[in-house]
Amino acid sequence: MNKILKTLSILIISSFSVDYTLAQEVNIYTSRHYDSDDALYSEFTDSTGIKVNIISGSGNALLERLKAEGEDSPADIFFTVDAGNLWRIQKEGFFRSINSEEVKNIVPKNLRGPNDEWVAIAKRARVIYYNPEVISPERMEEVSYEDLSNPDWNGKIAIRSSSNMYNQSLVASLISNHGIDKTEEWAKGFVSNFSRKPQGNDRAQIMAVANGEATLAIANSYYIGIMLSGRSGEAQLAAAKKVKIHFPNQKDRGTHINISGAGILKSAPNHENAVKFLEFLLSERVQKHMVDLSYEYPVLDGINPHPSIASFGENFLEDSTSVADYGKYNTDAVMLMDRAGWQ
């Protein structure tokens, strides 16, 4: 009888162990809205047995949710775009330092948050689009972000509104490099050169150049890859074929770089799984997957950009300004843009 009970106990304990393994999970709060990410989550589960639970929403909505949940939040990782957004989460005290040498060995210091509380997963450049039939590549070689306030560009520039975080981070990077006064002077000249009132998303700015509504447009690099893929329709595909990318500031500090990034939350109930997930995102196969499907630039060395992105130039000089400065100077940037009349 004792042998039978002992055997039953072992079986019960074993079954609980199996169930526990199957119940392993990681909870991701994400404001990234890319279908390609779903494949990443499935691949992580297939390779580790850890289930990925996704809560998706806008950055603001997810931040408010974290505040409401407090220490009872089930979130393990906050995954979003733009360093300025990651800074906001850190400023609220939600992140913890990422204690993974593997992660820190891959991600350069300028692509990490203070105290290593968040890190870049992929990069994107904020570049200038132009139509080579309207303006020559040779003329564009001389163009920096700073040059865009020059009166020569009066009525020729298309860009999104000042409420867009990508633009706020670009201005914050200028503040980091030049100070508030000089950047404000630049912004006033820049705004006076707009071809139209800021409107639409990044792709709308590229379309404006292709359709002759503007000579130059500022937008993120990966959008041209999406448009060239044909996934956004024939009109955007045709527009993308008309334009080229110019990487500004190749003779000094380099082209403005922003990121997609993630951090581990202090209250993470599945901390070890969260670390594994970040390490997974920075692995060779996943970095290759991301650049091929989201058209971003890799963080991991040795991975090539998608061919459609690389065709515009893959060895350009990147600005090494700390992306944490985009959050540090965000309030200054927003106020400055308002004073400059950037709507």
pLDDT digits (tens, 9 = 90+) for 212-254: 999 999 999 999 999 999 988 999 999 999 999 999 999 999 9
* Tally of helices (H runs) and strands (E runs) in the chain: 16, 9
CA nearest 154: which of 85, 90, 234, 214? 214
Does some domain include residue 312? no
pLDDT at 18 over 60: no
Do residues 270 and 321 both lie within one domain?
no
Are residue 28 and residue 110 in the same domain, yes or no? yes
Please tell me the predicted confidence (pLDDT) of residue 23.
58
Q: In the prediction, which pLDDT does 14 show?
A: 30
What pLDDT score does 58 carry? 86
Q: 């800021």: which residue's tokens? A: 198
Q: State residue 2's pLDDT score.
A: 42
Round to whole Å and give the CA distance between 311 and 42. Answer: 30
Predicted TM-score (pTM) of this structure: 0.89
State the residue range of the domain holding 58.
2-123+258-306
Regarding whether 329 and 193 lie in a shared domain, the answer is yes
pLDDT at 60 over 90: no
Q: pLDDT tens, 189-215? A: 999 999 999 999 999 999 999 999 999
Q: Is the same domain home to 329 and 197?
A: yes
Same domain, 198 and 282: no
pLDDT score of 15 more than 80? no
d(CA 73, CA 70): 6
Q: Which two tokens stand for residue 241?
A: 């074929």
Q: Counting Cβ atoms within 10 Å, is residue 46 exposed (0-12), middle (13-18) or buried (19+)?
A: exposed
Please, what is the average pLDDT of the chain? 91
Q: What is the CB-side half-sphere exposure of residue 194 using CA atoms within 13 A?
A: 17
Question: What DSSP character marks residue 329?
Answer: T
Candidate from 37-46, 61-70, 97-106, 273-282 with smallest mean pLDDT = 37-46
* Chain segment 306-335, per-residue pLDDT in tens: 999 999 988 899 999 999 999 999 999 999
Bridge partners, 157 (sequence order): 194, 216
- Between CA 263 and CA 118 the distance in angstroms is 4
Measured CA to CA, the distance from residue 178 to residue 73 in angstroms comes to 40
135 and 56 fall within a common domain: no
Q: How many CB atoms lie within 10 A of CB 148?
A: 21
Instruction: Please check whether residues 186 and 327 belong to one and the same domain.
Output: yes
Same domain, 45 and 75: yes
CATH number at residue 130: 3.40.190.10
Give CA–CA dist 282/9, Å, rounded.
Answer: 42
Whole-angstrom Cα distance, residue 338 to residue 62?
26
Beta strands at 25-30 and 157-158: parallel, antiparallel or unpaired = unpaired
Q: What is the pLDDT of residue 40?
A: 84
Same domain, 251 and 265: no
- Show the tokens assigned to 300: 């991991």
Region 130-147 average pLDDT: 96
pLDDT score for 13: 29
d(CA 318, CA 333) in angstroms, rounded, equals 21
DSSP tag of 318:
B
Is residue 13 domain-shared with residue 55, that is, in the same domain? yes
User: Is 116 among the domain residues?
Assistant: yes
Both tokens of 57, joined, read 């929403």
Give the pairing of strands 119-130 and 297-298: antiparallel
Q: What is the pLDDT of residue 12?
A: 29
Select from 170, 235, 162 the least CA-distant residue to 203: 235
Residues 6+ apart with CB under 8 A from 96: 117, 263, 264, 265, 266, 268
β-sheet bridge partners, residue 81: 260
Per-position DSSP letters for 57-117, written without gaps between them: --HHHHHHHHHHHGGG----EEEEESHHHHHHHHHTT-B-----HHHHHHS-GGGB-GGG-
Q: Does residue 329 sit in the same domain as residue 183?
A: yes
